[in-house]
Structure 1
Amino acid sequence: MAVSSLSLSWVSTTIYSKLNLPHYNDLSRAAISPLHSCNRITCSGEKASNGEGHCRRITLLLGVGALTGNLLRASSLFAEEIPENYRSFVDTEDGYSYYYPADWRDFDFRAHDSAFKDRYLQLQNVRVRFIPTDKKDIHDLGPMEEVVPDLVKYKLAAPNQVVTIFDMQEKNIDGKNYYTVEFQLTSPNFAVTSFATVAIANGRYYTQIVVANERRWRRVRNKLKVVADSFRVLDI
């Protein structure tokens, strides 16, 4: 469902008061703090010499038995071929995964669980965070047409930013429901365009943001759409 140049001044904040969500714009700066999750896997979409993709374990703090169990739960993710020039990030401890461009590097983004950015364009990045919730599914918050405008207007935008929503999509993958929105935030001096995907699982409200400078959006949109479409929540 496409929504162009949507005025959002009428939107209620009732849904988000139930979740006690903080304002996402307050989290717009990177901070020097370690990622707290301790069971993460990155896999490259580039092929090794033996024809198979290669995986790298990050910050391994689990015992052998726990590691085996978590890898078994993540094994289905590796069954799908990773797109060329992308890597797969899998956090079996916190219950989510996604692809990101292979030439991006990880960095610390304040109050987020994971983040990767372009080597040269810091505004071009992906990040994921989650907060506790007693909801079981994204549908428990309400229909997409209500939830998504509230999310963008009151949680992702600053008060001085003009919001334009280009598209909203709902999908169900392996029994999990997701809302995804493509939107633009325009400030007096600059504008950014983003994909945001939200889902609820494991007693957590997950949000993935994929963003780029508005001037580059046409060139990189399809590349970043792969990242947004790849976001999954896992059972933990």
Structure 2
Amino acid sequence: MAAASAAVVGSLRVPHLPSTRRRSAPPLLISSSASSTNWGRNSPGHQSRLNSAPDIGHLSLSYVPRRNIVASMLSSLIFSKLGSPDVTLAEPSVCFREYIDTFDGYTFLYPQNWIQVRGAGADIFFRDPFVLDENLSVELSSPSSSRYKSVEDLGPPQLAAEKVLKQYLTEFMSTRLGVRRESNILSALSRVADDGRVYYQVEVNIKSYASNNELAVMPQDRMQRLEWDRRYLSVLGVENNRLYELRLQSPENVFSEEEKDLRKVMDSFRVINAVD
């Protein structure tokens, strides 16, 4: 068996433990250019830089985040070697990169190991390389057909949330037989960010049910089963007479683990004056 790599802790060499999904990939240098279908993406207005932020994690009776499990295992290993309870282990931190698009006028943070996907149809699209249903994108209205002055032009937050949900359901329409969707608006709120602009934050849940035997004669053979259950987070803002929407998608079964990071991405979204 090949010798394990080692990390130095004081004067002690401790074998590295297998990393978690967040930390299993090395820092990835991401091209700051957006989809190749959008002109002007290679302009100097696109930047991507590293921003480190702590992630403390949390405990509950039914769930322990993976990063906490690894930290505890490593801490126990150090204690067993040193025999001293006075040694403390720092909590692993999640790093973020900042994406800045001065050409279209927006910026946000994203987890550093997420990868950019080109040709996805959005202005920009990033995806978790391990959980493919976890991703973010930015959509913006056409500059020639929109004259927004404020996000409040959409109406109150609840009305804006209904429009967002309707748009999601329209995009997820399926021609398959036996498909049913259930959706709920979980929250809709307005906030004033540190740039003085008003942003709407919308959170919805959508479940999709389908039958694997939709052409069966007997009703009991056409039973619908849950095929996916996802959380959708949207941030809406207005600048440059355009409506901007940051979209985040996460499967519900991993949302509780990723919630802190996803909300950090939401809170980081800003619209800025576009550079001509």
| Pairwise TM-score range, normalised by the shorter structure | 0.5 to 0.7
Deviations 1:181-215 (A, max 9, x none): 12111101111112111111102111111111111
* Cα 1:35–1:106 shift into 2, 3 Å: farther
Counterpart residue number, 2:46: 40
Residue 189 of structure 2 is matched in structure 1 by 169
How many aligned residue pairs are there?
169
Name the SS of the counterpart of 1:122 in structure 2: coil
- Aligned letter for 1:86? F
How far 1:46 sits from its partner (Å)? 4.6
For normalisation by structure 1, the TM-score amounts to 0.66
- Which secondary structure does the structure 2 equivalent of 1:225 belong to? helix
CA shift digits 1:80-120 (9 cap, x unpaired): xxx95111000011100000001111112533111111111
Matches of 1:150 and 1:227, distance apart in 2: 22
1:114-153 paired onto structure 2 within 5 Å:
114-132=124-142, 133-152=146-165
Q: Relative CO higher for 1 or 2, CA cutoff 8 Å, sep ≥ 6?
A: 1
Verify the 8 A CA contact 2:123 2:137 in the aligned structure 1: yes
Give the direction of change, closer, same or farther, for the CA distance of 1:45–1:120 in structure 2 (3 Å limit): same
Query: Any unmatched runs of 5+ in structure 2?
Result: 1-34, 54-92, 174-179, 210-226
Question: CA–CA distance in 2 between the matches of 1:213 and 1:109?
Answer: 23
One of 114, 121, 130 as aligned partner of 1:104: 114
1:44 Cα deviation from its structure 2 partner? 0.5
Structure 1 residue aligned with 2:250, among 209, 212, 232? 212
State the SS of the aligned residue for 1:129: strand
Contact 2:138–2:244 (CA under 8 A) maintained in structure 1: yes
Q: Secondary structure at the match of 2:266?
A: helix
The list of structure 1 runs, each at least 4 consecutive aligned residues, that deviate by more than 6 angstroms after superposition, is none
- 1:222 aligns to what? 260
Q: State the percentage of identical aligned residues.
A: 23
